[in-house]
Structure 1
Amino acid sequence: MAVLSTLAPKDLLVLASCALTLCVLAYRAWSQRRLLRARAGTPPNVLPAAKVNEKDREPGEWTPVAFDYPRLEPHKEHFSNVKPIPYRPFKWGDYHVTMGIRGMAWDEWIELDREFPLMHKVADYRIRTRGDRLLSVHPAQPGVVDSGHAAAEELMYELSEYLSRRHPDVYKVTRRAVSKNREENGWYGEGKIKTITIIPFNETYDLEKEEPLKVSRMLMQEDFTIMLEGSDGRYYLQAGAVVIAGSWRLEDKMGMPLEEIHTSGNVPQYQSKLQMSMERYFRRLPLDKPIVRNNYAVQLVQEPEMRSPAPAPGSLLDVDPDELAWAATMNGSEDTNDFERAKHINDQVDNATTSVTDAQNDKGYPASRTTTPATPRTVRLRTERQTLRRLPRTGAIVFTIRVYQTPFEELLREPGVPGRMASAIRSWPEDVARYKARDAYEGILPLLDQCHAEQVAKGLVSEEDKKSTFPF
């Protein structure tokens, strides 16, 4: 104000005139952008993807974005001819807790392979028998975060668009007529999908009538969760379909913020090593940069002759003898909570002297003891391929989880894998070893060492392999 008071009246008029001119130019530019979006069919309240700036929006607020996906090339092979990708996400040397993320190409979002029919059968059984506990939309938490319903519906349409374009020999869709309102259309301005058919299974879903979470889960081999940002800046689990988690239950995590999901599961070193970077990454995840990561665990299953009584025909173990859906051999019944499960497993141990409190220990990890011996026939490597991407309409983050199970007998024959796996298992610090239940299967380590020595002797691997980096 002191500066302005020293100016002559004519100078003030010049400044006022300049300010007015700038306002007029800004208004014209805004009007022009609005007109161009209208001509392109984009409603005024829908932002172009390039204009999204995470720093400018308030926590929990999201303006729908007009985002056209890169054109997808149809997959060259039918899924029945595609082998599952052998992800082996462990390495030589010291263990480090990291997010382990890498960029993902759009045409790699959802993977189909020859295990699709089996996993589809297991998913169908699980949804029919306990779907209300495996598929869930959490209601809005007033003043904090919206319901996951709109995001679940958006994901269903996204998957239908993606899969029918990436695998046109597997999925067939019918569409509505093209609408003048771009927001009501499908990808690339085509009509909105009405129905989708999984051709080899002869199953058709009406997207306007059926439950979105069920449709999405039955279309693919992946489980998924949907995270929404709250007004406090935290991301909450507001919807999901978790059918083959193996050792955790969706019903226990629904409505939780990201950090509580991990701390309630006693994820080692989460608060000290991962929490800040994960929360920051979720907040900043852009629409056009999906990511992927892998992790792994070791699982014990019972051989058929070990099961007494034998699984009843039509039961889960009859449909899923490798315990893909739920690791009962390791964790006991799916219908007990963590504390009861620890006691159940502990009680199975002959002459056990460890109390339930000791079994859980001061970290709160459930007991990992089981009477099933660790042998090449009972051990499985369980790996997960996890993807993260943001949805343009709701701003929700979709987390997909594809599970792979490999018999230990197969791993022993893979060049370089036995030695690398043994090194990784031995490198775990105590909290990680307890979390991954190493005591249940560490008896396999000498066999891994033996196989590694034999591979070295045959020239299949060398010391140089220990210096190699592995993508998965």
Structure 2
Amino acid sequence: MDSELIDKAIFSKPTNNAVLLALIGLALCYLAFARLRNRNPKTGVNPPPTAPTFQTPLPLPFNDASPTTSAPHPYRPFQHGPNHITMGIRKLDWNDWIEMDANFLPYHATKVAELEKDLPAHVQEPRRRRWWWRRKLVQDDVILMVDGDDGQFHLDAGAVCLPGFWRLREKFGLSLDELHFEAGRATLRTEAPEVYEPLLQVHDARRKQLRVNNFFIQIDDGLHWSHRMEDQNGDEVASWATADSADLKLEEIYFRSERQTLRRLPRSGALMFTVRTYFEPVTVIAKEPHVPGRLAEAIRQWDETVSVYKGKKHWEHLLLPYLDEQHRLQVENDVLQEHVEREFPY
């Protein structure tokens, strides 16, 4: 049979052709499978491990009678000598993610007032009601950052009622690096790669939480908004460049401390920040043993960038002499010898 007869036999009947082609396909698949089965595997090459499913540990029951009767933690996140950006970054126990204390009710009242006054100014997310409830359940502000196409996390949702001097709409959509750059700080990516890089390793990061403590000096008693910085309802970005420190008195200077937590959510991989604010007059914390001397030393260690960002020139002429005097009195009265100095961040 010549080639013309073969072509005619194969392509003259469509039904037979389909069956024949199917048989040929099955035969080729069988040969390929047999070849792969008999091939010796390469030594030293392991298949990629399957990531185990992560289950967030359940928190332990609260031991005290009521979390809203506990005294706030006296966070004093400064120490002797240079204070670096990485100093306050530490691992966080799952049971300590959210801290509640006796300030819950007054903080709650302030948050409710802010939400009722202007919900869109404090909540950014399509399903605002969901974040509205989240914000009322804890004392912390809550921020969600989502991994973008550029490999960075961007502020994608949040409920922020106690920012102090920044507006959520000004930060919305910014990357983590951009937020640190605006704050006059080196980025986590360059300054603290040992912290930033694990965040990109999804299965490792979901097993840990981080906490960060820092502090600011504020020149009025506005917990939710520093009215000396800028009008809360204005359009100009609030900063120390717009601050009005005229006729400032020592009694108006407050110590604003923040406890931030950071975790990567197990399903979405998004970063969730919580920011808890502690707010006290400096005349109160300066009575604590070791605090005035250590705080004055830490402030004097700031470089020019940090000093400008934290508005040092507006209040140093009042605060530093006062802290020095309180430290001198503690030394003269043997207060430092009678009390052991606490470890950072207390």
**Cα RMSD (Å):** 3.1
Determine whether 1:323 maps to 2:222.
yes
Structure 1 distance, partners of 2:55, 2:188, is 35
Match of 1:129 among 104, 117, 129: 117
Unaligned runs of 5+ in 1: 1-12, 31-46, 53-64, 139-148, 150-209, 302-321, 343-364
The residue correspondences of 1:12-161 to structure 2 (distance < 5 A) are: 17-19=37-39, 51=51, 65-98=53-86, 100-137=88-125
Match in the other structure for 1:291: 210
The residue type paired with residue 199 of structure 2 is F
Unaligned runs of 5+ in 2: 1-32
Match of 1:236 among 125, 147, 154: 154
Match of 1:220 among 119, 124, 138: 138
The residue type paired with residue 268 of structure 1 is R
Deviations 1:176-219 (Å, cap 9, x if unpaired)? xxxxxxxxxxxxxxxxxxxxxxxxxxxxxxxxxx8210111000
Match in the other structure for 1:155: none
Determine whether 1:245 maps to 2:156.
no
Structure 1 pair 336/278, CA: closer, same or farther in 2 (3 Å)?
farther
Structure 1 pair 99/421, CA: closer, same or farther in 2 (3 Å)?
closer
Determine whether 1:454 maps to 2:301.
no
The residue type paired with residue 286 of structure 1 is A
**SS at 1:121's partner residue?**
helix
The residue correspondences of 1:62-461 to structure 2 (distance < 5 A) are: 65-98=53-86, 100-137=88-125, 211-263=129-181, 265-270=182-187, 274=191, 279-284=196-201, 286-301=205-220, 322-329=221-228, 331-338=229-236, 341=238, 366-375=241-250, 377-442=251-316, 443-461=318-336
The residue type paired with residue 279 of structure 2 is Q
Structure 2 distance, partners of 1:266, 1:386, is 15
Whether the aligned pair in 2 keeps the contact of 1:238 and 1:254 (CA below 8 Å) is yes
Instruction: Note the C-alpha offset of 1:412.
Output: 2.0
**SS at 1:240's partner residue?**
strand
**SS at 2:327's partner residue?**
helix
Instruction: Note the C-alpha offset of 1:380.
Output: 0.7
> TM-score normalised to the size of structure 2?
0.79
Structure 1 pair 235/84, CA: closer, same or farther in 2 (3 Å)?
same
Structure 1 pair 402/372, CA: closer, same or farther in 2 (3 Å)?
farther
Whether the aligned pair in 2 keeps the contact of 1:385 and 1:403 (CA below 8 Å) is yes
**SS at 1:413's partner residue?**
coil
Structure 1 pair 257/80, CA: closer, same or farther in 2 (3 Å)?
closer
Whether the aligned pair in 2 keeps the contact of 1:234 and 1:257 (CA below 8 Å) is yes
Structure 2 distance, partners of 1:104, 1:405, is 22
Match in the other structure for 2:6: none
Structure 1 pair 113/236, CA: closer, same or farther in 2 (3 Å)?
same
Structure 2 distance, partners of 1:434, 1:425, is 12
Structure 2 distance, partners of 1:224, 1:99, is 23
- Percent identity between the aligned chains? 30
